């Protein structure tokens, strides 16, 4: 009986390892669900979660301020005076504007 030589030709080995390398490259870098794309998406999700928590805290703060403005007349009056420059009747308001510097003195 003849026994076949179990060694494969170098061409077949090269093709086999080339296919394995291409499949690994596809899985790691190129595929739609590759490890690289998954990593990028996870980083993006973390960034968006941080932004969401920041905006949620800001929203809560503004909601509290809004509630204070609705319920507390003193807070509403203070806001109207500071933001819009409103005054009461017969009230005199003095505004001091800083003097402009003379450009010739420089």
- State residue 70's pLDDT score: 93
Spatial CB neighbours of 26, under 8 Å, sequence gap ≥ 6: 34
> 0.75 cut: is pTM over it?
no
Which of the residue ranges 3-7, 50-54, 83-87 has the most confident prediction, judged by mean pLDDT? 50-54
- State residue 41's pLDDT score: 92
- State residue 38's pLDDT score: 87
> What three-state secondary structure class fits 49?
helix
Spatial CB neighbours of 79, under 8 Å, sequence gap ≥ 6: 69
- pLDDT tens digit sequence for 22-81: 888 888 777 777 788 888 999 999 999 999 999 999 999 999 999 999 999 899 888 888
Query: Domain locations in the chain?
Result: 33-88
d(CA 73, CA 4): 99
């Amino acid at each position: 009986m003849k026994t076949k030589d179990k060694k494969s030709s170098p061409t077949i080995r090269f093709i086999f390892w080339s296919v394995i390398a291409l499949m690994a490259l596809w899985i790691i870098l190129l595929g739609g669900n590759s490890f690289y794309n998954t990593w990028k998406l996870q980083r993006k999700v973390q960034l968006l979660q941080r932004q969401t928590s920041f905006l949620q805290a800001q929203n809560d703060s503004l909601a509290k301020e809004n509630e204070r403005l609705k319920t507390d007349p003193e807070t509403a009056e203070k806001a109207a005076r500071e933001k819009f420059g409103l005054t009461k009747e017969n009230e005199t308001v003095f505004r001091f504007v800083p003097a402009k510097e003379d450009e010739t003195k420089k």
